[in-house]
Amino acid sequence: MLFRSAVQAQVVAPLGQQGAELIAESAHWASAFSALSHTWRRSPNAVGGPFAEIRGVATIGNFLASLVSDAEEELLTAQPQYRRGVKQLDAGVGTRDIAALKRGVKMRTLYQHAARRGADTRKYVAAVTAAGAEVRTLDEFFNRLIVVDRRIAIIPGHEGPDTALVINDRSMVSYLVDMFERHWERARPFTSSESSLMRDIAAEQRAMTIRMLLEGRADPAGAKRLGVSPRTYAAYVADLKNEFEVETRFQLGYEMGKRGISGRDDDHPTSSSS
């Protein structure tokens, strides 16, 4: 018994104390490296200067996640509909964004009107707006944009969806923020489900379809501008043919021209002229 007590006093207790000290030291270093990483990411040199390109979906996703986790004041995001739709709204994205909102970060997100039809998008919007975010939709196409604290912006790279350009230049970021604000002022809140608002949105989509037709846009280009599938876009065109009581696109263009229809805000559905 005395031998066991002696061993515990001379061996076990010191090892336990040393283990506790190592745990405390590792926690200290983890905190230090976290602060260092945070400072490094905020530095323009972190991504190779005022402009830098990053490649790979996983790399871009990890970079965005680190930026959002470091956001202190504001997140601005513009997410157009394209191909498979808006960004992947998985649980991780929602959790990350809500965590930023709970830290006091202001968040504004802009979608196209077509995003209102997506169940996943509506669920995500309901969650983030409940946490304090603002979400609006717009009739026109716009490019993807993310701005963090008005100091760094991320836009698509010119080589496709697997590349992104990171911008640290203050003048360029300010210019992109101004573009976002102009779109934001024209957009409509996503939080309302009033029938009058939905009628306004439907009218804006109709007007955009008319503009695409009058400009001679091919169906894929017109669908992309509206953020819808080619099949949905074709249905919009078919609705216009029925509305103007014509059978071909040529007849549709002629009829709209005869009535002075331009696809602008002051256009309204009209019955056939006598």
pLDDT of residue 1: 54
- In the predicted model, what is the mean pLDDT of residues 69-80? 92
Regarding predicted confidence, which is higher, 85 or 227? 227
> Which pTM does this prediction carry?
0.63
- In the predicted model, what is the mean pLDDT of residues 62-77? 91
The whole-angstrom separation of Cα 270 and Cα 253 is 14
pLDDT of residue 145: 93
Q: Please check the confidence at residue 43 and state whether its pLDDT lies above 70.
A: no
pLDDT in tens, 221-261: 888 878 788 888 888 888 888 888 888 888 888 888 888 88
- In the predicted model, what is the mean pLDDT of residues 115-139? 88
The average confidence (pLDDT) of the chain is: 78
Q: Among 64-73, 196-205, 243-252, 265-274, which stretch is predicted with the lowest mean pLDDT?
A: 265-274
**11 CB neighbour count, 10 Å cutoff:** 10
Tokens representing residue 4 in the block: 């066991």
Could you tell me the strand order of the sheet in which 152-156 lies?
51-55, 163-167, 152-156, 145-148, 74-79, 106-112, 134-138, 188-189
Report whether 123 contacts 98 (CB < 8 A). Answer: no
Regarding predicted confidence, which is higher, 259 or 152? 152
In the three-class reduction of DSSP (H, G, I as helix; E, B as strand; rest coil), residue 273 is classed as coil
pLDDT of residue 214: 85
The whole-angstrom separation of Cα 146 and Cα 96 is 15
In the three-class reduction of DSSP (H, G, I as helix; E, B as strand; rest coil), residue 217 is classed as coil
Cβ-based neighbours of 196, under 8 Å, separated by 6 or more = none
Per-residue buried b or exposed e for 153-173, using 16+ beta carbons within 10 Å of the residue's own CB:
bbbbbeeeeebbebbbeeeeb
Cβ-based neighbours of 213, under 8 Å, separated by 6 or more = 222, 237, 240, 249, 252, 253, 256, 263
* Residue 112 backbone dihedrals phi, psi, to 5 degrees: -85, 160
Q: Which helix (H) or strand (E) holds 186?
A: helix 170-186
Q: Where are the beta strands (DSSP E) in the chain?
A: 51-55, 74-79, 106-112, 134-138, 145-148, 152-156, 163-167, 188-189
- In the predicted model, what is the mean pLDDT of residues 42-53? 64
Q: Binning pLDDT at 50, 70 and 90, where does residue 35 land?
A: very low
